[in-house]
Amino acid sequence: MKSVKGFQFSGIHSGIKKENKDLALIYAPDGASFASVTTTNKFAAPGVHYTRAITKNETLLKAILVNSGNANALTGERGTQDILTLLRTLGEHINVKPTQGLALSTGIIGKFLPVGIMQEAMLKLTQSLTDNPESFATAIMTTDLVPKIVYHQWESEGETFSILGIAKGSGMIQPNMATMFSFILTDATIDSSTLRQMIPDIADKSFNAISVDGDASTNDSFLLLASNKKAQITAKNLADFQTELTNVAIQLAQKIVRDGEGATKFVEVRILCAKTVSEARKMFQAIATSPLVKTAWFGQNPNFGRILCTIGKLDTSLDPEIVDLQLGPHYVVKQGAAVDTPKSLLDTYMQQPDLCITVTLHQGDACFTGWTTDLSYDYVKINAEYN
């Protein structure tokens, strides 16, 4: 696995979980420019509030401590104090102050962190630091089946830049900022202020364009870090650089959807020719969170009426008499009326693991593309038993 200069990684089993890795660290010894976006959930966890405060007041970050198995959410002031305690302990082993670090958590909501266990594991965690991000990616997983890593190199103005993306997420997915956890790291030289201008748009085109089950976590966080080890990003290549970061974010977002809890289908939903992006996004979210639609996908049922019903209930400017709907390459509705497409073709198409649903509104130039899953028996089972 290739790495990004200026960052080190670690992931170990500390005892938060009965088994499997559960404590992870990203370390930037010389500090990194950074930006963040966090969940809009009003019950945001202490780690989210701390991240917001550090992002507001600091320009360099040295460490991101992450644990899985316990969300440190709905833990009040004690949750914040536990973060400070852990960051102070981390600072006894590596050169980082509490104001230079973050402590993020994922897992069961409503339980206090086992701080003593985590403190005891801190020496092992810091001694395990390497350039390889795989242990980190594994240690942040909860119901994920696979770690999610994207590595990309980009050449610009005679310099080769590295971009590394790491994410976790499988259920409780419909972020209103970013996603569960996502970390995108680069060796480019760029200041925190510029990263903070870029990150909302990157999130909107990637992590805000996915849904597994329509729920947004109390802990969702997306961090963008630059170690400043390579050449300066300039006004000349800034837009291209943002595009490269966005493409990595989209790949991570799609990996999350493909690993959706119980998912058997990866579904791209395209809303085309809408009046506004806002309306197009609203329609995507309605389709992507409809139990009727998602269970039809799971059953490989080409019940397109469910798709139109779920967007027809919205308060939008939609004109039903000019809407087209496609299942893959097959038109099933044109100008608001059903097309007599052979059911055998539709049945064959719905058996594929990757589906594409296209709704064309013929009302404007705005569009929105998002990614989602079906809703299976296994999703219900996983979440009925999760505790």
Q: Name the token pair of 377.
A: 């028996």
Give residues with Cβ within 8 angstroms of 142, minimum separation 6: 68, 69, 106, 107, 168, 170
The answer to whether residues 81 and 121 touch, using CB atoms and an 8 Å cutoff, is no
Exposure class string for 338-365: b at 16+ Cβ within 10 A, else e: eeebeeeebeebbeeeebbbbbbbebee
What's the rounded Cα separation, in Å, for the pair 283 and 367? Answer: 10
Give residues with Cβ within 8 angstroms of 325, minimum separation 6: 304, 307, 308, 331, 332, 333, 357, 358, 359, 360
Q: Of these residues, 38, 138, 142, 179, which one is catalytic?
A: 179
Amino acid at the residue 76: G
Active site residue 179: yes
What's the rounded Cα separation, in Å, for the pair 127 and 118? Answer: 14
List residues with catalytic annotation.
179
